[in-house]
Amino acid sequence: MAARESLLVVVQRYGEEIVGGAETLARAVTERLAERMDVEVATTTALDYWTWANHYPPGDALVRGVPVHRFPTVRERSRDFQAFSRRVLLESHALAAERKWIGDQGPDAPGLHEWLLREGTRFDVALFFGYLYAPTALGLPLLPDRAVLMPAAHDEPAIRLASYRALFHLPRAFSFSTEEERDLVHRLFPLTARVPHDVIGVGIDGPPAPTDPARFRSRFGASKPFVLYFGRLSTAKGTDELVAHWQSLKARGAVGDWELVLAGKAEVDIPKGADIRYVGYVDDQTKWDMLAACEALVMPSRLESLSIVVLEAWLCGKPVIVHAACAPVVGQLRRASGGLAYDGEAELGEALAMLAADAGLRERLGASGKGYVESRYRWPVIVDKYLDLFAEIRFARGGR
């Protein structure tokens, strides 16, 4: 029997405790591809994406059966990084400042790059998740002949830095999450349109056990109908703006007796009152119970290449409300006919009022979203797309 092909996955953080973003996508894809390939992961010991403080023990570990090589960070992100970042991203600067910005942003784990240089060529394919951080920005150029980039690209100032221009022309293939992400990359870097690529995304599994909305309501005392936000609670994700809009709408009686339930790690202050319920970090089963219990999911982020929780809400037959400035998620919304988009407080209020007043509308939008997920985001389809993309790389390298 022929030997299985080998895959190296490179990502800045990796662990079961890490929720959201490219890291969640990376782990989900890794575990599924490990059923068909010999897969290993190279990452850092960091858990927190902002400080990059060492958390996991350095060295080798098994995470759900996948070998993981973790390398320590040698410094945490400096307190003045945001001020330096604004100068680099918004003002004229030298190329040296960009290179310093990538290093300062981190995670700074030189042992990871040394390992890639030493060990990376023993893998048939190297799959890098996220263009922004140092493991990809500095690591992908070490393995360009076998690199696939899942960029998690947003229309943001960083992607226009000259230092990333070279990076986007190195991979042998691209895996995109949505058509909008693909179009953005091809527009900014026209030559990448000639490189093998596919819009792949992620597979969505159902809940680990049957959902129980009453179990969630009983545990957290949530008796009112509610709209749910699930994920990182931060300025970057738009949750502080969402909360401000909600407070104003609630004060004007625009959202009736609905509550706003917030779940996830809070990086901003969560006010009390105004029918805002913060439940903190929850386990996977509780997440699915919440999705089954909510009336709708709201996703206020402007910067997403793919929203997994939106797909999960649709799988539960729930409508979603998304920010109109997030083109990839709005594109999914339109293809799925699974919800409403808003721009600003007034439109958010209108969307909430429409859904609150019409249970049939909620049901129709949720059912349409569920059909969309079941047709496009099941794991057998996703895995086959990745394997086909990897085959193109091997063919280009003469069968290796």
What is the DSSP code string of 265-301?
Answer: -BSS-----TTEEEEES--HHHHHHHHHH-SEEEE--
Cα Rg of the chain, angstroms: 21
The mean pLDDT of 134-154, rounded to a whole number, is 96
Residues 293 and 343 in one domain: yes
Residue 42 falls inside a structural domain = yes
Is residue 273 in some structural domain?
yes
Same-domain check for residues 99 and 122: yes
Distance between CA atoms of residues 283 and 347, nearest Å: 32
Residues 116 and 220 placed together within one structural domain of the fold: no
Q: Is residue 208 part of a domain?
A: no
Are 129 and 237 part of one and the same domain? no
Residue 126 lies in a domain: yes
Nearest Cα to 42, choosing from 1, 13, 81, 75? Answer: 13
Q: What pLDDT is stored for residue 55 in this prediction?
A: 96
**Residue 297 placed within a domain:** yes
Please determine, for residue 2, whether its predicted confidence score (pLDDT) is greater than 60.
no
Mean of per-residue pLDDT scores for the chain? 93
Check whether residue 234 and residue 163 sit in a common domain: no
20 and 160 belong to one structural domain: yes
- Does 243 fall in a domain? yes
pLDDT, tens digit, for every residue of 120-132? 999 999 999 999 9
pLDDT tens column, 20-30: 678 988 999 99
Residues 222 and 187 in one domain: no
pLDDT tens column, 266-301: 888 898 887 999 999 899 899 999 999 999 999 999
b or e along 42-52 (b: 16 or more beta carbons within 10 Å of the residue's beta carbon)?
bbbbbbbbebb
Q: Report how far residue 390's alpha carbon sits from residue 305's, in angstroms, rounded to the nearest whole number.
A: 22
More confident residue, 2 or 133: 133
Looking at the fold, whether 127 and 234 belong to one and the same domain comes out as: no
What pLDDT does residue 267 have? 86
The reply to whether 357 and 390 lie within a common domain is no
218 and 156 together in one domain:
no
Integer Cα distance of 309 and 230 in angstroms = 7
Q: Which domain holds residue 263?
A: 213-376
Q: In 3D, which of 398, 383, 285 has the Cα closest to residue 29?
A: 383
In a domain, 24, yes or no: yes
pTM: 0.80
**Domain-located, residue 1:** no
In single-letter form, the type of residue at position 52 comes to W
Which tens digits make up the pLDDT trace of 68-104?
999 999 999 988 898 999 999 988 998 999 999 999 9
Chain centroid to CA 271: how far? 26
Query: How many independent structural domains does the chain possess?
Result: 2
Residue 108 sits in a domain whose CATH number is 3.40.50.2000
Q: 197 with 264, same domain?
A: no
Do 89 and 183 lie in one domain? The reply is yes
Neighbouring C-beta atoms of residue 209, cutoff 10 Å: 10
pLDDT tens, 321-371? Answer: 999 999 889 999 999 999 999 999 999 999 999 999 999 999 999 999 999
